[in-house]
Structure 1
Amino acid sequence: MVVSTPSSLAVSKCHLKKAVMRLPSLRPLYIPLSHPLRPFHSSSAAAKTDVFTNSLRKTLEAHRSTNRSRLVRKVLANEDPAGLWRPEIPPQSRADYQPSGSEPSTDLRHNPNSDDNRPKKRTKRRTQVDVSSSISRAIQPAGTNPQTPWLRHLELPRANAEITLDTEIRALEQYLTPNAQESEVIKSLQTTVSLLLKPVVPHVPKVIGSHCTGLALAHSDLDFIIPYPDPARSLDRDRRPSPTRPQIQDVHVRLLCQVEKALQHTDTFKQVQLSDRSLSARHLPTGLVLQFYCGEDVPAITEYLQDYQVEYAALRPLYATTRTLLETHGLFGTPQAGIGPDALAMLIVAFLKLNHGRFTSPNQLGGLFLALLQFYGTQVDIQSVGIAVDPPGLFSADTLPVNPHAHDPGHLRGQRSLINAKRTAAAKRNLLVAQRLCIQDPTHYMNDLGRSCTRAAELQCTLATAYQQLRGACDEWANGGSNSPSILATVVQANFDRLEDMRNQIIQNSG
């Protein structure tokens, strides 16, 4: 038995201390918590993690929160899972609720969340093409045997080719203009729609589009806007919210759902179809297509187009002729991924402004139309540049200032935004967006009127071919070597039978 004495214990501690001193120094392994070894994706929450030197519990909670933000993602399902029950939310607790008196009532007597009023998602965009495209294609291609209904009771002069072309353009525009009976039927239809929707919508629908701007043709759609005032966007406020914020869009869709139900309960409308932001319906007695939208009021572009027609008398004849040319090639209208009516009108306005004072002769429409086809067909690459209306000009990445300034005018900031959108799309190899038509909206510099036209290359090719054909036909006419009864029919090779049937149907309805 060994008994430890105090002296022996002291010796043992001394030897142990010396042994420990001979061991290599052990430094604590320190891994900075604010710099993870391998970041998960690129979560912004993992940028920095707080370390509380005086509290281990707080430090651990901070790291757990960071880890959860990296690994947990919120996924929004398009449809509710089976068996899920959602409680009824009272109106005053909803995001789009407005106190009484601040906004007009939408007269939604049914539950806004019911199946009848719930916005329809991703089911109507494709079917809307069948409604709106049928009337927009009232003018069809005729091949080698074009019809010339504008030449009825008209004898063309054989003197000057451009004067003859001027006469034909005016005659075509006059032929496509709605006559007195058709105009009366359209006014009666507007009254019918107002009376039908009066108990459904908070305000009487207003006519917009070509029937309001003065550019309507005999087969133009009849467009309505359902006014829905937005007090949050009052002009008295310095900063106004977006007119397309989700709360207002939901209200607009619910209004259109109510209009859809009202039209479906009548026997005079068919093919009533609701898309994302519009409603289409065909009026059976006349065959006309009606389009319904929601907004604060009549769009500002309406007043602009009215003023431009007063300033440029050639706008309407050029619009009617160019639209007929594009319709025969299937390049007019949003359903065909072509140019829309407002975009085409502004395209012509930009050309007229850029050539202001150049054509001063009284019979100038022939020369103007040739110059329009040449400019957009051969002289400008409409896939890469943008067209500005006010002030008029062309813009691209090369023409805009390299260093943007905070005090740049609004139109330059808008042009830079539109060009950047095309450049970003090109970098992502999205050629449909990168090469689409770009026309700056003079009423909203950040808006692109040509965004629906993704067939800009076909559009330019059609205009270039039409210029070459029309130029050759004018030369043959001037030299006396043409046997054709019409110069304009060289490029406007159209069949107007369906248009004639539709106009006859409208006139029969007037009786």
Structure 2
Amino acid sequence: MRFRRQTNLLQCLALGEPRWTLLDRPSFSTTTATTPPSGPRRCYSSLKPLTTRSTRYPVIKNSLKKTLEAQRAVNRESVFWKFYVRDDKDEGKPSDKQIGNVSEKRVAKRSKKRKSKPSRTKTKPDAPIRLPWVVPLKDGHPQQRPWLDLTQPSRQEGDAKSVLSDELLGLMTFLRPSSTEQDAVDYIIDDLSVKLQDIVPNPPELIGSRHAELATTISTVDLMILVDGDRIHNLPKNKPPPITPQMKYNYRKIISQAGDVLKKDIGYRDCQVIPDKSASLFLYHRASGLPVRLFCRSYAPKLEEFIRDSLPELPSLMPLYMVMRVLLESKSLFGWDSRSISANGLFLLVMSFVRQQPEDFASKGLGEQLLALLHTYGKEIDLTRTGISASPAEFFTRASVREHIRSLISKSGTPNPQFPDYLRGQRALIAYKIHSKHKGNKGLANHLAIQDPTNYLVDVGQRSFRTPELQMAFSGWYDDLKLAMERWDEGDRDEETILGQVLRADFGELVRRKKRVVTV
């Protein structure tokens, strides 16, 4: 009978083929008519027989099937370990407790050896976390409504819309920095410009939320040191300037020298150099308690200038932004640290809505505008599939971008017309969400896409991954405000506030900071 190489001596014996033998140099006899010859078959002397002293495989004569089953059983027995249950715990193998004690001793020895070795890694200082304006109100704590002291005394007699509008203005007045604090900020800028004039190439410039007029009392004073020599020429307009290794070295050198000077100055405290991608210096002004951050850049940000220029155009932007931010912080849904929308992203979200409204919308009160804003983003559109654009002010989806491109192609008569910059940016932002969905990245696929009006290819909301929670919060606040206004108009005014029935936050840190700021 003819077999492949795996057909060994034992299987031949089981089929009654005694002429097959396994020798060091085997020779094959002539086969019968039933098995046509196929030439001499090579065998290797290195092949070990299956039957050895340590393992014995049974052979059932004249039955290959039974032989294979028996040999498989032997193989299975060698794979599975036998566990014998003993009545006497002291007999045989050591108990689990004894094994555990031995393993614990070994782990203790290894831990001692590891502790004895000094760590070679240098611990980096923790970057200071920006304080939120408010924090969620804990259970059992009294409700805080500091904005009521800045409202009109006759508000109890008005209707719900006028009362809510008055409360929104009072909240904005409470949150905005006072004139005393602004004087302290101006003093800090002038003082640092004089003390660092021999180190920095240019005097520090105010940027960030305070420059964009979106700050409150506890906001950090962000000061940028412009390094002109590190600007990259012929840089594409659609790409932000990168930070090269040489830039990192220069920035780190400037920041370290500035830190050495300010650590010796009694006017500041807690000076700390943060060695990040781009080094920064964090410190506190001793007299006012204001936090200050210095860092280097080769360019000035454009988005903050865009926000600053938009405020006089739309007076309702500031109060709507303020109340939306406080509402989000009361639910821990604000900031990149919370994997949610940032300050610039929230402002563009409000701006896009206000700019899309008809002309008579500005004549409505702030209360009605807030309700319309919450209704739009909470119930009308799907924020996980819709992009936000502030300039031009519109909402864009995959279908709207396709329709816009088709209309431009049909009007131009060419298959590849020149698309506007904002449309190419919207197409890129939507394509990024679709690509993330195909890759199975649900967070990026559902993130809140907000187009940067100063660079259309930049997504301001790319780190906002909690979009479904944001939409649910907007919808819930709309329902609660609507119910509170109906109760107020019906005469149920025991709460003495409409906004306070929805906004439940702790203003403690903000109140303490406002009292601490003194005249410099």
- Normalising to structure 2: TM-score of the pair? 0.67
The answer as to whether partners of 2:339 and 2:463 remain within 8 angstroms in 1 is yes
Return closer, same or farther for 1:242/1:179 CA change in 2, 3 Å cut-off.
Answer: closer
Say which SS state the counterpart of residue 422 (structure 1) adopts: helix
1:431 and 2:442 equivalent?
Answer: yes
Name the counterpart of 1:141: 137
The answer as to whether partners of 1:469 and 1:491 remain within 8 angstroms in 2 is yes
Quote how far apart the aligned CAs of 1:203 are.
0.8
The answer as to whether partners of 1:389 and 1:442 remain within 8 angstroms in 2 is yes
Return closer, same or farther for 1:419/1:239 CA change in 2, 3 Å cut-off.
Answer: closer
- Whole-Å Cα distance in 2 between the matches of residues 121 and 423 of structure 1? 41
- Whole-Å Cα distance in 2 between the matches of residues 261 and 455 of structure 1? 41
1:244 and 2:245 equivalent?
Answer: no
Say which SS state the counterpart of residue 457 (structure 2) adopts: strand
Task: List aligned pairs for 1:162-173, cutoff 5 A.
Answer: 162-173=161-172
Return closer, same or farther for 1:264/1:314 CA change in 2, 3 Å cut-off.
Answer: same
The answer as to whether partners of 1:146 and 1:492 remain within 8 angstroms in 2 is no
Structure possessing the higher relative contact order (Cα contacts under 8 Å, 6 or more residues apart): 1
- Whole-Å Cα distance in 2 between the matches of residues 278 and 359 of structure 1? 46
Quote how far apart the aligned CAs of 1:279 are.
2.5
The answer as to whether partners of 1:314 and 1:365 remain within 8 angstroms in 2 is yes
Quote how far apart the aligned CAs of 1:234 are.
5.4
1:174 and 2:165 equivalent?
Answer: no
1:303 and 2:305 equivalent?
Answer: yes
- Whole-Å Cα distance in 1 between the matches of residues 443 and 376 of structure 2? 23
The answer as to whether partners of 1:217 and 1:320 remain within 8 angstroms in 2 is no
Describe the superposition over 1:21-43 as per-residue Cα deviations: whole angstroms up to 9, x where unpaired: xxxxxxxxxxxxxxxxxxxxxxx
Name the counterpart of 1:194: 193
The answer as to whether partners of 2:251 and 2:279 remain within 8 angstroms in 1 is no
Quote how far apart the aligned CAs of 1:366 are.
0.6
Return closer, same or farther for 1:428/1:414 CA change in 2, 3 Å cut-off.
Answer: same
Name the counterpart of 1:211: 210
Which structure would you say has the larger Rg?
2
Name the counterpart of 2:400: 399
Describe the superposition over 1:465-508 as per-residue Cα deviations: whole angstroms up to 9, x where unpaired: 1111111101111111242111011222112121111122222x
1:484 and 2:495 equivalent?
Answer: yes
The range that moved more, 495-504 or 143-152, is 143-152
Return closer, same or farther for 1:384/1:239 CA change in 2, 3 Å cut-off.
Answer: closer
Match of 2:129 among 132, 152, 156: 132
Name the counterpart of 2:484: 473
Describe the superposition over 1:328-376 as per-residue Cα deviations: whole angstroms up to 9, x where unpaired: 1222222222222211111111111111414243x51111111111111
Equivalent AA in structure 1 for residue 346 of structure 2: L
- Whole-Å Cα distance in 2 between the matches of residues 184 and 276 of structure 1? 32
Name the counterpart of 2:375: 374
- Whole-Å Cα distance in 1 between the matches of residues 442 and 262 of structure 2? 40
Return closer, same or farther for 1:136/1:200 CA change in 2, 3 Å cut-off.
Answer: farther
Quote how far apart the aligned CAs of 1:206 are.
0.4
Identical aligned residues as a percent: 26
The answer as to whether partners of 2:135 and 2:332 remain within 8 angstroms in 1 is no
Name the counterpart of 1:386: 387
- Whole-Å Cα distance in 1 between the matches of residues 295 and 377 of structure 2? 31
Name the counterpart of 1:414: 425
Match of 1:503 among 504, 507, 514: 514
Return closer, same or farther for 1:456/1:316 CA change in 2, 3 Å cut-off.
Answer: same
Say which SS state the counterpart of residue 304 (structure 1) adopts: helix
- Whole-Å Cα distance in 1 between the matches of residues 489 and 238 of structure 2? 60
Equivalent AA in structure 2 for residue 199 of structure 1: D
Say which SS state the counterpart of residue 277 (structure 1) adopts: coil
Match of 1:152 among 140, 149, 153: 149
- Whole-Å Cα distance in 1 between the matches of residues 481 and 399 of structure 2? 33
Match of 2:461 among 445, 450, 455: 450
- Whole-Å Cα distance in 1 between the matches of residues 170 and 242 of structure 2? 42
The answer as to whether partners of 2:269 and 2:283 remain within 8 angstroms in 1 is yes
Say which SS state the counterpart of residue 185 (structure 2) adopts: helix
Return closer, same or farther for 1:263/1:436 CA change in 2, 3 Å cut-off.
Answer: farther
Return closer, same or farther for 1:122/1:292 CA change in 2, 3 Å cut-off.
Answer: farther
Describe the superposition over 1:284-326 as per-residue Cα deviations: whole angstroms up to 9, x where unpaired: 5234332334333432222211221111001111111111111
- Whole-Å Cα distance in 2 between the matches of residues 239 and 500 of structure 1? 44
Quote how far apart the aligned CAs of 1:462 are.
1.6
Return closer, same or farther for 1:438/1:248 CA change in 2, 3 Å cut-off.
Answer: farther
Quote how far apart the aligned CAs of 1:381 are.
1.7
Equivalent AA in structure 2 for residue 348 of structure 1: V
1:288 and 2:321 equivalent?
Answer: no
The answer as to whether partners of 2:211 and 2:304 remain within 8 angstroms in 1 is yes
The answer as to whether partners of 2:388 and 2:396 remain within 8 angstroms in 1 is yes
Uncovered stretches (5+) of structure 1, i.e. residues with no partner: 1-119
Quote how far apart the aligned CAs of 1:230 are.
5.4
Alignment RMSD: 2.8
Name the counterpart of 1:89: none
Quote how far apart the aligned CAs of 1:264 are.
4.6
The answer as to whether partners of 2:230 and 2:298 remain within 8 angstroms in 1 is no
Say which SS state the counterpart of residue 216 (structure 1) adopts: coil
Task: Tell me the matched-pair count.
Answer: 383
- Whole-Å Cα distance in 1 between the matches of residues 470 and 213 of structure 2? 25
The answer as to whether partners of 2:208 and 2:222 remain within 8 angstroms in 1 is yes
The answer as to whether partners of 1:140 and 1:327 remain within 8 angstroms in 2 is yes
- Whole-Å Cα distance in 2 between the matches of residues 239 and 382 of structure 1? 28
Name the counterpart of 2:183: 184
Say which SS state the counterpart of residue 213 (structure 1) adopts: coil
- Whole-Å Cα distance in 1 between the matches of residues 148 and 233 of structure 2? 52
- Whole-Å Cα distance in 2 between the matches of residues 334 and 289 of structure 1? 19
The answer as to whether partners of 1:473 and 1:482 remain within 8 angstroms in 2 is no
Name the counterpart of 2:330: 328
Name the counterpart of 1:223: 222
Say which SS state the counterpart of residue 473 (structure 1) adopts: helix
Equivalent AA in structure 2 for residue 339 of structure 1: I
Say which SS state the counterpart of residue 283 (structure 1) adopts: strand
The range that moved more, 374-383 or 394-403, is 394-403
Return closer, same or farther for 1:501/1:241 CA change in 2, 3 Å cut-off.
Answer: closer
Say which SS state the counterpart of residue 311 (structure 1) adopts: coil
Return closer, same or farther for 1:484/1:445 CA change in 2, 3 Å cut-off.
Answer: same
- Whole-Å Cα distance in 2 between the matches of residues 137 and 440 of structure 1? 26
Describe the superposition over 1:123-175 as per-residue Cα deviations: whole angstroms up to 9, x where unpaired: 56xx32xx223x22554435574211111164223332111100000011111
